[in-house]
Amino acid sequence: MSGVTGHARALSAAAAVALMAWTGAAAGAAGAAPAAAPAVAPLKIGIIGAGHIGGTLASLWVKAGHEVLVSSRHPGQLEGLARSLGPGARAGTPREAALFGNVVLISVPYGALPQIGRDLKAELSGKIVLDTGNPYPQRDGDMAVQARRQGTGVSSAEFLPGVRLVRAFNAINSGDLASQAHRSGERIAIPLAGDDSQALEVAQRLVRDAGFEPVVVGPLARAREFDVGTAVYTRLMTAAQLRQALGLNALELQMVTLGLTISGSSSVPARTKIRCGRASESLNRCVPQAGQKRRCDTLPLSAIRQ
Ligand SMILES: NC(=O)c1ccc[n+]([C@@H]2O[C@H](COP(=O)([O-])OP(=O)(O)OC[C@H]3O[C@@H](n4cnc5c(N)ncnc54)[C@H](OP(=O)(O)O)[C@@H]3O)[C@@H](O)[C@H]2O)c1
């Protein structure tokens, strides 16, 4: 077996093993519940920042059958929105949203993230958090300069310690979020980045339920590839166009979807090449080093059955 086709076959086998391990673990965690039940049960979503993006997503997710708690520092002002969304929605404070959600969307001016991370640390701890925020120095101050420099995946993780963070819905305008949802034909892609494979699974489901196509770009360190100012930011691409623009190939996609690049490194370069060894034993992750021979790390399958 040689070449890309051979590698793809070997990777598919490894991917299947890893997927079986993951779904098996999920079913075990769910006790006697049928294996399919967690995938279809509605989610409880707490929304911190129910403005242009948060309010639109609240509406899309309620229509998809989820329960949402939209929040404001002045919750009375959201009663009308909650009523208009129907029985699947209610209004509350950011703290109530953090407690309510098994998934929490944070969609606030980026400068508010450090305070939310401090004030709601206990409530958000261990939760899957989708972060849409984009740093703008003119709005958010010096912290936005630093966030732009190091990339939002890295900086948001610093501001929101202890959460299972996914960068999501930051690279689409709110108007397009409303008008392009569930469009006919090929759906618009939403890039995602995260270090937690289960959180990425949930984020992908919520992207689909909102009427878009998820594209997992990689770990949080790669969120910078769809930050403000990148070639793909707010460009309304299909999944195939987005993958091409980001240089994601089919092997990488399967790897990142399974969280494989995540296990070994939090700073995998965009052009990481992945090559399969014997699928039953290991996968080799080969990282080209600038001006040096490439470095290959062997990743035992046990490392990905986490
Ligand atoms: N608009 C877009 O097209 C777009 C696209 C992609 C990404 N983004 C990013 O996504 C984030 C949200 O954007 P948006 O346009 O939806 O903003 P927005 O319409 O201004 O809404 C932001 C919400 O955040 C809440 N908020 C502000 N400070 C807060 C704090 N300290 N604690 C809790 N809640 C707070 C506000 O609610 P209360 O004042 O009622 O508490 C407000 O409803 C921003 O970082 C933005 O850069 C926006």
Is residue 108 within 8 A of residue 72, CB to CB? The reply is no
Q: Which residues of 280-295 are buried (b: 16+ CB within 10 A; e: fewer)?
A: eebbebebeeeeeeee
% of the chain beyond a pLDDT of 70:
68
Q: Is 132 in the pocket of ligand 1 (CB under 6 A)?
A: yes
Residue type (1 letter), 227: D
CA–centroid distance, residue 225 to ligand 1 (Å):
22
pLDDT above 70 (res 5): no
Asked if residue 259 is part of any domain, the answer here is no
Phi first, then psi, for residue 286 (nearest 5°) are: -110, 120
Write down the pTM of the prediction.
Answer: 0.77
> For a substitution probing ligand 1, which of 79, 108, 121 has the most ligand atoms within 8 Å of its CB?
108
The neighbouring-strand residues paired with 68 are 45, 89
Q: Is residue 102 part of a domain?
A: yes
79 belongs to a structural domain: yes
Residue 25 Cα, ligand 1 centroid: separation in angstroms? Answer: 36
- Evaluate whether residue 272 is within a structural domain: no
257: in domain: no
CA of 286 to the centre of ligand 1 (A): 40
Distance 300 CA to ligand 1 centre (A): 42
Say if strands 282-287 and 273-276 run parallel, antiparallel, or are unpaired.
antiparallel
* 43 secondary structure, DSSP code: P
Q: Are 133 and 156 in contact (CB under 8 A)?
A: yes
What tens digit of pLDDT does each residue of 206-219 get?
999 999 999 999 99
Q: Could you tell me if residue 289 is inside a domain? A: no
How many domains, in total, are found in the chain?
1
CATH number at 199 reads 3.40.50.720
In a domain, 190, yes or no: yes
Which tokens in the block code for residue 223? 């969120």
Which structural domain range is residue 111 located in?
A: 44-246
| Cα separations in angstroms, 5 against 10, 12, 211 | 9, 10, 32
Of residues 139 and 6, more confidence is placed in 139
